[in-house]
């Protein structure tokens, strides 16, 4: 055990849980609520290029562009997040200047799409743990450079239900991996690093309370299994490879069900771990599109699936509207045109983003 680990262990013994949490937040927040990066090297850099967003701290005025952001909403595909941007614009009454339209701020990156609607960022995160982790590193840095205060992150998407009918909305209380461990494990410099995958419990309660009695579907909370793969990792029988039986699969799913796991997807573990490590409140809300206890393949008509996928958006929208109404923040603001500080650096960032693999 090195000196830093020893100091941390001693502090954990001396402090109570509440004090430990206050200390953790203090390490990731400035007094005014701005995000504090856990990376001393960033401040020493001439400029920080966010390669996969096609933005840079020296090329763009990130404070002007993103300083009013409060909510960062993420989902898998560019199309879904463009649709959410359109939807939330109507819900919060945001108006674009005459003759303009929503712009994909990160279109030069060709990887992720990002739209801004007032205090809401709508960003695609791709599919799987590596994709969402890469994006989160850069979005958390974006929050830092833009001096955003106390942001709230949401992941919305679809999932396989375990004992749930299709169309059920699940708010994740906890994310676990395929071994039922509640941490995100990655090798760093040849050593395995484990980061706790923690979602904000208060946010879970607040979202659950926004379910309407007349909603034609259930909204429930529970554990979410996050896998690193869609087929074998989720116990499917229809992948290119399958070296287990139907009985093996059902025993696995029943075990998950008994342990409180109610759905499975492929991003929540990294999402929960990295937002928690950054001191950012976050929540995962997914609609189930198949009950895995009844089958593997999705046979629901597309128009029904489209409606199910809108349900997490509606819940997140209710939260955002309630917050903005409480704070009196329904207003027009920056909507996506680049605020370029340095044309030369802007061109450099564009080229770097296009070429970076």
What does residue 239 show for φ and ψ, rounded to 5 degrees? -85, 180
**Residues 6 or more apart in contact with residue 61 via CB below 8 angstroms:** 339, 340, 341
Residue 157 is assigned to a ligand binding site: yes
Reading the block at residue 108, the tokens are 């030069």
- Which residue has tokens 């958390």? 140
How far is 18 from 43, CA to CA, in rounded Å? 30
Residue 168 · residue 289 · CB < 8 Å: no
Residue 250 is assigned to a ligand binding site: no
Fill in the DSSP letter of residue 97.
Answer: P
Residue 158 is assigned to a ligand binding site: yes
| Integer Rg of the chain from CA | 21
Residue 314 · residue 12 · CB < 8 Å: no
Residue 345 is assigned to a ligand binding site: no
How far is 132 from 332, CA to CA, in rounded Å? 29
How far is 205 from 55, CA to CA, in rounded Å? 35
Reading the block at residue 136, the tokens are 């989160």
Residue 247 is assigned to a ligand binding site: no
Residues in binding site for phosphate: 111, 155-158
Residues in binding site: 111, 155-158, 234, 236
Residues in binding site for substrate: 234, 236
């Amino acid at each position: 055990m090195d000196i830093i680990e020893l100091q941390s262990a001693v502090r954990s013994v001396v402090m109570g849980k509440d004090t430990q949490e206050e200390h953790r937040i203090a390490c990731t927040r400035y007094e005014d609520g701005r995000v504090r990066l856990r990376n001393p090297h960033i401040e020493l850099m001439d400029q920080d290029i966010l390669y996969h967003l096609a933005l840079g701290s020296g090329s763009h005025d990130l404070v002007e562009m993103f300083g009013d952001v409060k909510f960062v909403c993420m989902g898998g595909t560019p199309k879904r997040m463009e649709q959410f941007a359109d939807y939330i614009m109507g819900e919060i009454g945001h108006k674009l200047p005459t003759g303009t339209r929503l712009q994909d701020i990160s279109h030069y990156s060709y990887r992720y799409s990002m739209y801004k609607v007032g205090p809401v960022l709508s960003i695609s995160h791709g599919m799987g743990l590596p994709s969402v982790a890469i994006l989160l590193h850069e979005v958390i840095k974006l929050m830092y450079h833009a001096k955003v205060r106390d942001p709230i992150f949401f992941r919305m998407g679809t999932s396989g239900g375990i004992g749930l009918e299709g169309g059920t909305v699940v708010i994740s209380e906890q994310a676990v991996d395929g071994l039922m461990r509640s941490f995100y494990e990655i090798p760093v410099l040849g050593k395995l690093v484990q980061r706790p995958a923690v979602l904000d419990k208060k946010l879970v309660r607040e979202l659950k309370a926004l379910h309407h009695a007349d909603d034609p579907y259930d909204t429930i909370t529970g554990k979410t299994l996050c896998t690193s793969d869609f087929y074998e990792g989720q116990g499917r029988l229809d992948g290119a490879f399958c070296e287990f039986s139907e009985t093996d699969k059902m025993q696995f799913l029943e075990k998950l069900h008994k342990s409180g796991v109610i759905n499975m997807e492929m991003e929540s573990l990294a999402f929960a771990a990295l937002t928690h490590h950054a001191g950012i409140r976050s929540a995962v809300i997914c609609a189930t599109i198949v009950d895995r206890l009844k089958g593997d393949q999705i046979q629901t008509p597309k128009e029904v699936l489209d409606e199910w996928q809108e349900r997490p958006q509606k819940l997140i929208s209710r939260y955002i509207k309630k917050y903005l109404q409480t704070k009196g923040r329904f207003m027009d603001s920056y909507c996506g045109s680049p605020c370029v500080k340095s044309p030369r650096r802007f061109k450099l960032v564009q080229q770097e983003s296009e070429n970076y693999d």
